Amino acid sequence: DFFIFFSFLDTCQDFTEYTNFEECLEYIEDYMLNHGPFDGFLGFSQGAFLSAAFPGMQKEGVALRKVPKIKFVIIISGGKFGGFKFGKPTLAANAFSSPIHCPSLHLIGETDFLKAEGIALLESFVEPVVIHHPRGHTVPRLG
């Protein structure tokens, strides 16, 4: 079983509209309050887009206002909202407007269809750590 917190896949062909985004943010913050504390986020694909935006959204005061500051993010096969392929939810409009001073680890696949998005995201973070792997849009086995 799985649950999609927000979707850009079903709403329109050019992936510029989002549904349930605000509800997604509320759910995650409530979960963190009830089951935390949590230090950071690990996100893959859609989750990586959201995880990458959280530090900036938290700094702007539009998300995660009731939980401690995010200490790190791990981004696997992700990118940033408003990049090459996808639109930008209103609440994430300023998430990348200034450099993100949050430790970050980025895993980028050489054959991932989001490789360009992942590389572009690196510019938003201060001193990102990057691991390139030979596979595609997947969580790689390292080691």
The answer to whether residue 6 sits within a structural domain is no
pLDDT at residue 15 is higher than 90: no
Question: Does 10 reside within a domain?
Answer: no
Query: Does any domain span residue 4?
Result: no
Residue 1 within a domain: no
pLDDT at residue number 51: 97
Reply yes or no: is the peptide bond before residue 89 cis, omega within 30 of 0.
no
Q: In degrees, to the nearest 5, what angle opens at C-alpha 64 toward C-alphas 73 and 117?
A: 40
Give the residue, 4 or 60, on which the prediction is more confident: 60
Segment 22-36 mean pLDDT: 94
Give the Cα separation of 70 and 72 in Å (integer): 6
Q: Has residue 2 got a pLDDT over 50?
A: no
Which pLDDT band holds residue 57 (cuts at 50, 70, 90)?
A: very high
User: What average pLDDT does this structure show over 59-78?
Assistant: 97
Q: Report how far Cα 134 is from the mean position of its chain's Cα atoms.
A: 22
What CA–CA distance (Å, rounded) separates 7 from 74? 21
Contact between residue 5 and residue 31 where contact means Cβ atoms under 8 Å apart: no
Could you read off the pLDDT of 90-141 as tens digits, one per residue?
A: 888 899 999 999 999 999 999 999 999 999 999 999 999 999 999 999 999 8
In this structure, is residue 8 part of a structural domain?
no
Per-residue pLDDT at 11 exceeds 70: no
Mean pLDDT of 40-58: 96
**pLDDT at position 8:** 46
Q: What is the pLDDT of residue 83?
A: 60
Whether residue 38 is contained in a domain is answered as: yes
pLDDT of residue 1: 46
Q: Which residue has the tokens 């790190």?
A: 72
> Position of tokens 């990586």?
48
Kindly state the helix (H) or strand (E) to which residue 133 belongs, with its residue range. strand 129-133
Range of the domain at 124: 21-133
Q: Is residue 109 part of a domain?
A: yes
